[in-house]
Amino acid sequence: MTIAAVLTAAGSGSRLGHALPKAVVPVAGVPLVVHAARALLAARTADGASVTQLVVTAPAAHLDTVAALVGEVVDEAAADVRLDVVGGGRTRQESVAAGLAELTDDVDVVLVHDAARPFAPPALVARVVEAVRSGHAAVVPGLPVVDTIKRVGAGDGTGRPVLETVPRGDLVAVQTPQGFARDVLERAHAVGSGRGADETTAASDDAGLVEATGVRVWVVPGDERAAKVTTARDLMVAQALTTGAPA
C-alpha cells in the first residue's frame, strides 16, 4: 500500500502571540512544520513502509517559504518522496480537502497530521499506518482522559449547572496523525463538504467526518509527545521540553 500524508499548516500564529503563521513559528530554532514533517518522513512500519507523498497546506502568502522549509526536510530524508505545497482553506476541513485533491492515483493510505503537533514521534506515525494496513479503515491515536469530566447545561449568568459526570474510563483525548483508507476519507469529505466553509460547522477532525458516514473509527495508543501547540504557554512548554530548560 502506498502512503501519503496531508500536513495541515495553514493556521495563524495569533494565539501563540506571533505575527508569523503558526507553521513557521520556531521551537528550538526550528519551525513547527519542519519538526512535524521530519517525524512523518522518519516513520517506518515493521516491513519498512514509509510516506512517499507529503502534501502540506500553508497560508497562501507563505507558500514559497513553507515549500523551501519542507523541501529541505525531504532532501534530508534522502528518500523518493513527492512534495506538494498548496494553499489552505478557510477552515481545517477545507485545508485537508485541498490536500486530498493533490494525492497521486497510487495512494492507498492517507495520514492527516497537524503541524501544531510537531513532536508526534515516528513510532506513533508508524503505529497508525500499521493499524490502517491491518484492515481498519479509520484510525486515531488517543490518550486516556485523566481529568474528571462533567456535562453542563445552559448557564444563568453566574454559572452553569452540572447535568452529569461522564465516566472517563470510556473516554480518550484524540491526537494526530489520523490514518484512513483513501476511499473512506475522500467519501467522508465529499459527504461533509457542505460543513467545511464555516468554523462553527466544520469538523474538528477527519475522524468525525468519517464517523458521520457510518464507518467505525478505531483507536490506537497515543503519545504524550504529540501534544498540541496552541497557546503561548504551549509554545513555552514545547521549547522547554526540547531544550531541557525549566518550563
Euclidean distance between CA atoms 37 and 81, whole angstroms: 12
- Amino acid letter at 71? G
Mean pLDDT for 60-81 is: 93
Q: What is the pLDDT of residue 246?
A: 43
**The three three-digit cell numbers of residue 98, written as one number:** 485541498
Query: How far, in whole angstroms, is CA 210 from its chain's centroid?
Result: 15
Is residue 23 within 8 A of residue 35, CB to CB? The reply is: no
Euclidean distance between CA atoms 111 and 211, whole angstroms: 16
Question: Could you read off the pLDDT of 35-68 as tens digits, one per residue?
Answer: 999 999 999 999 999 999 999 999 999 999 999 9
SS3 of the chain: CEEEEEEECCCCCHHHCCCCCHHHCEECCEEHHHHHHHHHHHCCCCCCCCEEEEEEEECHHHHHHHHHHHHHHHHHHCCCCEEEEEECCCCHHHHHHHHHCCCCCCEEEEEEEECCCCCCCHHHHHHHHHHHHCCCCEEEEEEECCCCEEEECCCCCCCCCEEEEECHHHCEEECCCEEEEHHHHHHHHHHCHHHCCCCCCCCCCHHHHHHHCCCCCEEEECCHHHCCCCCHHHHHHHHHHHHCCCC
How many residues in total does the chain contain? 247
Selected residue with higher pLDDT from 185 and 198 = 185
Selected residue with higher pLDDT from 232 and 123 = 123
Residue 44: half-sphere exposure toward Cβ, Cα within 13 Å? 6
Cα distances (Å, whole numbers) of residue 215 to 20, 154, 184, 204, 211: 38, 32, 8, 17, 5
Query: How far, in whole angstroms, is CA 110 from its chain's centroid?
Result: 12
Question: Could you read off the pLDDT of 195-220 as tens digits, one per residue?
Answer: 877 787 888 899 999 999 999 999 99
pLDDT tier at 18, thresholds 50, 70, 90: confident
Is the CA virtual torsion 226, 25, 198, 157 positive or negative? positive
- Amino acid letter at 131? A
The rounded mean pLDDT for the chain is: 92
Domains in the chain (CATH in brackets) are: 2-142+172-243 (3.90.550.10)
Does 122 sit behind a cis peptide bond, omega within 30 degrees of 0 on the bond before it?
A: no
pLDDT tier at 88, thresholds 50, 70, 90: very high
